[in-house]
Amino acid sequence: MRGSGKVALVTGASRGIGRAIAYAMASEGYDLALNDVAGQKIALDGMLAEMQALGRHFRAYFADVSMEDEVTRMVEAALSSFGQIDVLVNNAGILIPEPVDTLASSTWDSVMDVNAKGTFLVTRAVLAGMRARHYGRIVNIASIGGKHGAPGQAHYSASKAAIMGFTRVLAQEVGIDGITANCICPGIIVTDMGRTNLANQAERERWIGITALRRLGQPEDVAGPVCFLASDEAAFITGQTLNVCGGIVLS
């Protein structure tokens, strides 16, 4: 029960990787502040109903992480309810595939706003509390796409590369306050977003063929490493980027 007595805020928690992270952290004893946009209310409410059986404190907060005022209200509400935020998992993200020559600037902005700016806004909102308590764990979900990219995903790749750069600087700024900041780079994970790279069976087989473990990832494959980086077992790890991709990127 690595999370006993601790509170974690997970953004984009209603489905895919975020959902798996939330359930894994709940099983480790964390109280959870779960975020998503209002359109995911039914899914997030269903998760809360299931989690009540675990006998811990769970609350849903609906906010668009790209909107500063909504982020501020969310974090203030979570702090009012829980009293503290020990762990932040910046998981919220979007992918809208489009090649560069037809990529609308509004689409570029939307992806960058949620993925990169959203990570910054939520992080900034929780830092004061973490600094005051001289403790914090920040885990940002990037992507191997931020390292090598894929056609139709220039804006997504740029946003995920930005998260990695942000995390490296953040780690240097907050380490003195007992806060760690690390990145997870998932590979091809079978989620609604991940299926963007799995348009047909041939594409699916191609990704399996270039993955050392010869299989696609599941959301739970990402949740375990997140829980480790959020724990005190990872207290001397900061500013790092961990590939969780089954061996597509080898570094």
Which of these, 187, 193, 180, 188, lies nearest to 230 by C-alpha position?
180
d(CA 235, CA 229): 8
For residue 61, indicate whether it is catalytic: no
Write out 90-139 in H/E/C secondary structure.
ECCCCCCCCCHHHCCHHHHHHHHHHHHHHHHHHHHHHHHHHHHHCCEEEE
171 by DSSP, 3-state: which? helix
- Exactly one of 30, 61, 135, 156 is catalytic; which is it? 156
Could you tell me whether strands 179-186 and 241-244 are parallel, antiparallel, or unpaired per DSSP bridges?
A: parallel
Q: Which residues are catalytic?
A: 156
